[in-house]
Structure 1
Amino acid sequence: MIRPEAKARLLRWREALIGASCAVAGLWLWLATAGLPALFGAVAMAIGAVLILSGMRRARFRSTHQDPGIVRIVEGRISYMGPVTGGSVALDDLVAVTLLRDDTGAAWCLTPEAERDLVIPEGAIGAEGLLDALAPLPGLDSGAMVRAVQSRTGASITVWRREQFRALT
């Protein structure tokens, strides 16, 4: 049996751990063989390095606590179904992405052009998918999203605004 705390930590870092094991297996294959298998080992090391980097970013973005509600992301549309509030917004309609922080916790505020804001608690089921779902926004720095989550200041942090990039599109 594995302790629940250890299991939660392993699950949080799962992509990085898979990448590390892929890189170690690739290194062994690269050093222990020659020719085509060594080439496969080098490719496995490169894939492992990419998985480690992306896995570390995802692990730092994931929340350590559970909030109510479920986030669904389907074809450029983000939906949140909570016990009290909910809603849906299309990526094309977004004008700002902000991390709201107060004494009770943190929540992502997705601001569309014409509709009301969609507020998603940081620890909602599926909220870790926001990192990938918001990536297509022009000029979005996913590192800024990770830094906002890691920051423990009480202030709200706007990580993206469309006005900055409207002239470019």
Structure 2
Amino acid sequence: MIRPEAAAFFKKYSEIFAGLIIALIGLWLATRIGWFWTAIGVIIAFMGLGLAFTAFRRLIFKTDQIGPGVVEVDERQISYFSAYEGGSVSIESLARITAITTDEGPWSDDLHWVLEEDGGATLTIPNSAAGAEQLFDAFAALDGVDYSMATKAMGTTNHDRFVIWSKPRAALH
């Protein structure tokens, strides 16, 4: 039997472990004799590292999901529903994504995502809402998302605002 704490740890980091195992298999293949196996091994190693890196980025978005509301991402539409507020925004009409934190973190769920549309409408989503991990995939569709800023926002202990992405503005000349 595996202890529940160990099982939870391996489940949480399973995608990262899978990517690293794939990378190790690729490195093993790269040490085989012949240029063909070396090339295949290097390609597989880079794919495994890419998978592990993406899984690590996705991990920062995961929470215990005990907060209010439900997030749903469907057909490039982000929706948030709760007992008190809610709404939806289209990914194409987004103008800015901001992470707002309070001074209660990083040990409590103090992060909220503010999605602003071009027309001025905003949608505020707590990171602890059920389904909030889907936001990672939705944000990945946008060019220039600053994941390092998102990581910094999730680890801060201050009341602050972090612009994760903003729509590039057209030059007037």
**Bin of the TM-score, shorter chain as denominator length:** 0.7 to 0.9
Structure 1 unpaired stretches of 5+ = none
Deviations 1:140-163 (A, max 9, x none): 32322222222232223232333x
The 5 A counterparts of 1:52-131 are: 52-64=52-64, 66-102=66-102, 103=104, 105-114=110-119, 116-131=121-136
Paired residue type of 2:27: L
**Counterpart contact for 2:61–2:132, Cα < 8 Å:** no
TM superposition shift of 1:38: 4.2
TM superposition shift of 1:120: 1.1
Structure number with the higher helix fraction is 1
TM superposition shift of 1:47: 0.9
Structure 2 unpaired stretches of 5+ = none
Q: Work out whether 1:156 is the aligned partner of 2:172.
A: no
Deviations 1:88-125 (A, max 9, x none): 10012222211122347221111223364211111222
**Could you tell me which residue of structure 1 aligns to residue 147 of structure 2?**
142
TM superposition shift of 1:4: 4.1
Identity %: 33
CA RMSD of aligned residues (A): 2.6
Which stretches of structure 1, 4 residues or more, deviate above 6 A after TM superposition? none
**1:118 & 1:87 partners in 2: Cα distance?**
7
Count matched residues: 166
**Counterpart contact for 1:106–1:122, Cα < 8 Å:** yes
